[in-house]
């Protein structure tokens, strides 16, 4: 599933070909995504210039003077850029064509993604209105995190994956950030000290920054790439490494289920 770094990588890959470009055609092959692609989307987009593409959590926001196209990649979605688009294949659902001739193609085999329209900035859109701060935003800091987690009995890992606390920290990056911060994923969020939250803020940012940098290295030749962009393999410290030795101390990495999600930690490095 694309997490924040993959979505940010997609944004960076797509932006140079789409920003300041006028939409000349919209081809919707299949509206049945997580929510139906709105009927009026074609009319709203044709003739509009995409001023820029922003990212909020895992939503890509295509800004135009008339409103915002909201794109979510769901579980298996991807956006690809073509100068000469190949024939449409089974899971290609939407094409946006630009004046430059570039075609932006949305592909999504499992169709859990979304393509929606907001007549304004989308900040108040129901999908975005209750989201917590971005991990790189100034509001995501130790004071905020400490205050927001007092009296929370939920495991710190589940708190970190809660979009109302902070967005974009999915299962993989929560596991990796907690390892970097030396915090055991099962610890109650309300029982993590302020000092350790300071370490966690840094760890979350470092983990995501590393992943985005890794994604950046896959960005060359973004145009006309037929493979799935933005699914890059990282050298994880704990994620998916149950039974393997910790890269720091050699202790066997353990697996624990938290909220039905697999969680991995080193029982020696993480307390």
Interface with Zn ion (CB under 5 A): 246, 248-249, 251, 266, 268-269
Q: At what angle do helices 171-181 and 194-216 cross, to 10 degrees?
A: 130
**Could you give the CA distance from residue 168 to residue 45 in angstroms, rounded to a whole number?**
28
Active-site residue list: 2-3, 58, 261
Is 169 strand, coil or helix?
coil
Contact between 67 and 118 under an 8 Å Cβ cutoff? The reply is yes
User: Shortest gap between Cβ of 196 and Zn ion (angstroms)?
Assistant: 16
User: Shortest gap between Cβ of 267 and Zn ion (angstroms)?
Assistant: 8
Using the 8-state DSSP alphabet, how is residue 47 labeled?
A: T
The single residue listed with the structure tokens 């009026």 is 40
Is 62 strand, coil or helix?
strand
* Token pair belonging to 207: 């983990």
Give the dihedral of Cα atoms 6, 111, 20, 134; nearest 10 deg: -40
Residue with Cβ nearer Zn ion (60 or 238): 238
Residue with Cβ nearer Zn ion (53 or 253): 253
Residue with Cβ nearer Zn ion (79 or 266): 266
Residue with Cβ nearer Zn ion (204 or 266): 266
Question: What is the CB-side half-sphere exposure of residue 45 using CA atoms within 13 A?
Answer: 30
Secondary structure string (H, E, C) spanning 170-227: CHHHHHHHHHHHCCCCCCEHHHCCHHHHHHHHHHHHHHHHHHHHHHHCCCCCCECCCC
User: Shortest gap between Cβ of 153 and Zn ion (angstroms)?
Assistant: 26
Residue with Cβ nearer Zn ion (125 or 241): 241
* Token pair belonging to 220: 């060359």
Residue with Cβ nearer Zn ion (26 or 266): 266
* Token pair belonging to 91: 């899971």
* Token pair belonging to 18: 């789409």
* Residue whose CB is nearest to Zn ion in the complex, by number: 246
């Amino acid at each position: 599933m694309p997490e924040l770094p993959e979505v940010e990588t997609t944004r960076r890959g797509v932006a140079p070909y789409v920003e300041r470009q006028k939409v000349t055609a919209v081809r919707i092959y299949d509206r049945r995504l997580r929510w139906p692609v709105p009927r009026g989307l074609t009319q709203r987009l044709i003739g509009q210039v995409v001023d820029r593409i922003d990212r909020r959590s895992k939503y890509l926001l295509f800004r135009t003077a008339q409103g915002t196209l909201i794109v979510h990649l769901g579980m298996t979605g991807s956006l690809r850029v073509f100068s000469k688009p190949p024939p449409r294949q089974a899971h290609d659902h939407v094409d946006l064509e630009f004046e430059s001739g570039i075609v932006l193609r949305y592909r999504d085999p499992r169709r859990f993604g979304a393509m929606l329209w907001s007549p304004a900035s989308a900040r108040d859109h129901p999908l975005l209105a209750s989201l917590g701060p971005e991990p790189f935003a100034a509001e995501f800091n130790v004071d905020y995190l400490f205050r927001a987690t007092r009296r929370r009995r939920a495991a710190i890992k589940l708190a970190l994956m809660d979009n109302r606390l902070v967005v974009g920290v999915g299962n993989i990056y929560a596991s990796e950030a907690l390892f970097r911060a030396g915090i055991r994923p099962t610890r109650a969020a309300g029982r993590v000290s302020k000092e350790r939250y300071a370490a966690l803020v840094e760890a979350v940012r470092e983990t995501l920054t590393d992943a985005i940098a890794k994604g950046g290295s896959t960005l060359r030749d973004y145009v006309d790439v037929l493979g799935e962009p933005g699914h890059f393999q990282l050298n994880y410290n704990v994620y998916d490494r149950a039974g393997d030795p910790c890269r720091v101390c050699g202790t066997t990495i353990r697996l624990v289920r938290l909220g039905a999600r697999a969680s991995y930690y080193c029982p020696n490095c993480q307390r």
